[in-house]
Structure formats: structure tokens, C-alpha cells
Amino acid sequence: MVNGTAKYWVIVASKDHVKNGIEQGIAQACHGKSTPLRRMKKGDFVIYYSGKQTLGKPEKCQEFTAFGIVVDDDTYQFQVSEDFCPSRRKIEFSECEDTSILPLIDNLDFIQNKKSWGYPFRFGFFQINQHDFNLISSQMRKHHYV
């Protein structure tokens, strides 16, 4: 399933928003901006990281909460409310379990400063290498089948 030209992306979103996206088979990033989504191509992989359980509330999550593959090259807008029309991408999500980042931090290349491990997530969307994707996704699948 992994092709040689695939890229691997992390999108940061609250767990409640990720679960809504899974139900709809879509990805949104960075409060509905189109630019990050247009960087993804069909066949790329995406992992969601949720620092919080619910948008705007303090309860921590600190888990990887979904992963999947980008199924086409179309970015489209969807009218959610009168004043919110976010950009979206279609994603085929894999069955997996939410997985804590804490035991993985030391082995993730994209986290260069292990003491300030949350820093990369401040950007909301970023590329990771295949090693990191494989480590995270294998942990998410492992928990699912236990």
C-alpha cells in the first residue's frame, strides 16, 4: 500500500473534530485553510494528533487519533455554517486505536528536542518521514488487534 513517492503528514486537531472527520471520510487542517491540504497528493498518508479532547477546552488528549490515505487530488470547500466554509480532502481512514504519544517521543525523528516535544505540533500541519509514520501507525494498529 505504501508507494515510493508518498509523503507523510501530521494534522493537529482536537479529538472531537478528528472523530467527526473520520465519520465523514474527510480531513480539515488549520481551521479550514486550503493551503495545507493542497500540499497533499493522492496516495499520501496522514496521521492526526490531538493535543486536546475538545476544541476550546483544557482537557488534554496527547494521542494520535486517526490515520489514513488521501484518496484523490481534489481539495473542496464545504459550507458548515453561514460564516464557516472550510476546505476539505477525502481520506480513507484505517481502523486503529488512539495511541498516546508519550511512549513514542524518544523514537520520533520529527521531535528533535525531547524536552519540548510539543513544539512541532504548534504549526498544525507538517510533513514527517516514513520511519515516524510507520512507528506511529504500527502502534495504532497493534492496539486495535489486541
For residue range 50-73, what is the model confidence (pLDDT) as tens digits? Answer: 999 998 899 999 999 999 999 999
pLDDT of residue 31: 86
**DSSP class of 106:** G
Q: Calculate the alpha carbon distances from 114 to 12, 35, 98 in Å.
A: 18, 29, 21
Confidence band for 142, pLDDT divided at 50, 70 and 90: confident
CA dist 88 and 136 (Å) reads 23
What are the residue ranges spanned by the domains of the chain? 8-144
Query: In the predicted model, is pLDDT for residue 44 greater than 70?
Result: yes
pLDDT of residue 83: 87
Q: Is 12 exposed, middle or buried (0-12, 13-18, 19+ CB in 10 A)?
A: buried
Looking at domain 8-144, which CATH architecture does it have?
A: Roll (3.10)
Percentage of the chain surpassing pLDDT 90?
Answer: 82
Query: In the predicted model, is pLDDT for residue 2 greater than 60?
Result: no
Cell readout for 23 is 465519520
Query: In the predicted model, is pLDDT for residue 6 greater than 90?
Result: yes
Average pLDDT over the chain, rounded to whole? 93
Q: What predicted TM-score, i.e. pTM, was given to this entire model? A: 0.91
Query: In the predicted model, is pLDDT for residue 80 greater than 90?
Result: no
pLDDT in tens, 92-127: 999 999 999 999 999 999 999 999 999 999 999 999
125-143 mean pLDDT: 94
Q: What's phi and psi for 116, nearest 5 deg? A: -110, 50
